[in-house]
Amino acid sequence: MSILSRLNPREAPPARSDAESAPVAPEDIAPPPDRAEPAPAAAPRLDPQYEQFKSDLHRQLVEEFKKAEISPAQMANREQMRQRITTEVRTYLERQNKKLTQNQMGFLIEEMVNEMVGLSILEPLLNDDSVTEIMVNGPDLVFVEKKGKLLKAPCKFRNEEHLRHVIERIVMPLGRRIDETSPTVDARLPDGSRVNAVIPPLALKGSALTIRKFAKKKLDVEDMIKFGTLDRKMAQFLNYCVKGKLNIVVSGGTGSGKTTTLNILSSFIPHDDRIVTIEDAAELKLQQEHVVSLETRPAHTGSENTAVTIRDLVRNSLRMRPDRIVVGECRGGEALDMLQAMNTGHDGSLTTGHANSPRDMLARLETMVLMAGMDLPVSAIRSQIAGAVNLILQQSRIRDGSRKITQLTEVQGMENDKIILQDIFVYNQTGFDPSGKVIGRFESTGLIPGFIKKIEMEGIKVDYSIFTKTEESP
């Protein structure tokens, strides 16, 4: 018997077990873990009568909470709110003379909790550890990424207003705004997950929302080795480079895992170093205690002077006595300030940038320096880059959805106005297995980087065997 039949008091439904009455969970989307009450993982979301009933119940809860003058602090306590919502839902059902099974009641309460204090239909997806990214293309289309593949999620928003309400709930606690005069926003969830939203008139088919989730379990270098992102020799080499205070740029395309790798690299920084992190939306989760986290601020309505950019924060960070400066991503003129910081005693700094190869990353850095508005000759810019950057880490998202560090490339210096690069480690892809999984291996080129002496001067003992050239496959 459907949940709608249970909600109709004029019918006398025959007794059935809870298991028989519960909806069947779809295979693609897992149920939210650790629920306080047992609840099925799927719901008859597309039934208009059920949606109308749920909408009426939600409206009633909103009115009751307004009367009770629930404070933001109380709303933030999810378990306390669950208890209160459970009481209100049971009271409402008794008043309407409607009966539900235990499982149906549990699911209804969970949905109301998500509506009132969570992110509505997105909560089960956020709680599903196998989902790495959520993409909303208007109120009727929700997609997720699982194991590097895109899948359509079996849920949708009631309407555009419902979707906009969820977006507002994300950005308001951060002091950000999104409306027709400012129709795009970058934000983050409390766990650090990255959020981008675009609303009409820029989004033509309804608001677009993208959430790139952060893993609940903090990844370390051993996890990266297990996932096949790099091998143990490369991990040891990167450990040397970070502890040896080399300036490193992590390069890669969108979704290639640059921020995750930056987090891993930062874990090698000694705990007695003072670190200043600078980001558009704070995502880095450094393990060290002595960390100052800075975040940009968009301009308020009608006043561009209130904006605080990454470039402003990089300049300010130089007055904060940093041992290391970590910039989440260089996109514009801040690249010049970052290079100047690297060239003036702030060794061991880290940043990321969008590029498809180490050589492309150098070209991108040149372009970004020119965006600073300084009329510098290209030769001077290249000299700055060659003097500042020691290593480029190139990361790629492979066709099967896996992420690989495909090149660890030394920046050797200038020769005839050209920056010289030398690969130290590379990933050699040889094909795909029958299941579509990539086949390949990490290889050492057999070359010892010129900056190895700088690493040893920091008191680090280097195992030179990691540079032994990888034998060619027969």
Per-10-residue mean pLDDT of the chain, 474 residues long, equals 47 41 37 37 54 81 80 75 87 84 85 86 91 94 90 92 91 83 87 90 94 82 94 96 96 90 93 92 84 85 71 92 92 90 89 95 94 88 94 93 94 93 95 88 95 94 94 68
- Closest of 383, 382, 274, 369 to residue 330, by C-alpha: 369
**pLDDT at residue number 14:** 43
Contacts of 319 (CB under 8 A, 6+ apart): none
DSSP 300: B
Quote the pTM value.
0.75
**pLDDT at residue number 186:** 87
DSSP 299: P
Encode 104-116: b = buried (16+ Cβ within 10 Å), e = exposed: bbbbbbbbbbbbb
Contacts of 328 (CB under 8 A, 6+ apart): 259, 262, 277, 278, 279, 280, 283, 284, 351, 352
Encode 423-436: b = buried (16+ Cβ within 10 Å), e = exposed: bbbbbeeeeeeeee
Collapsed DSSP state (helix, strand, coil) of residue 144: strand
**pLDDT at residue number 301:** 56
**pLDDT at residue number 148:** 79
**Hey, which residues does 38 pair with through a beta bridge?**
none
**pLDDT at residue number 401:** 82
Cβ(351)–Cβ(327) below 8 Å = yes
Q: Which residue has the tokens 């924060």?
A: 313
Collapsed DSSP state (helix, strand, coil) of residue 377: coil
**pLDDT at residue number 44:** 39
**pLDDT at residue number 474:** 56
**pLDDT at residue number 47:** 65
Other CB atoms within a 10 A radius of the CB of residue 184 amount to 13
The answer to whether the Cα torsion of 371, 374, 376, 381 is positive or negative is negative
**pLDDT at residue number 83:** 87
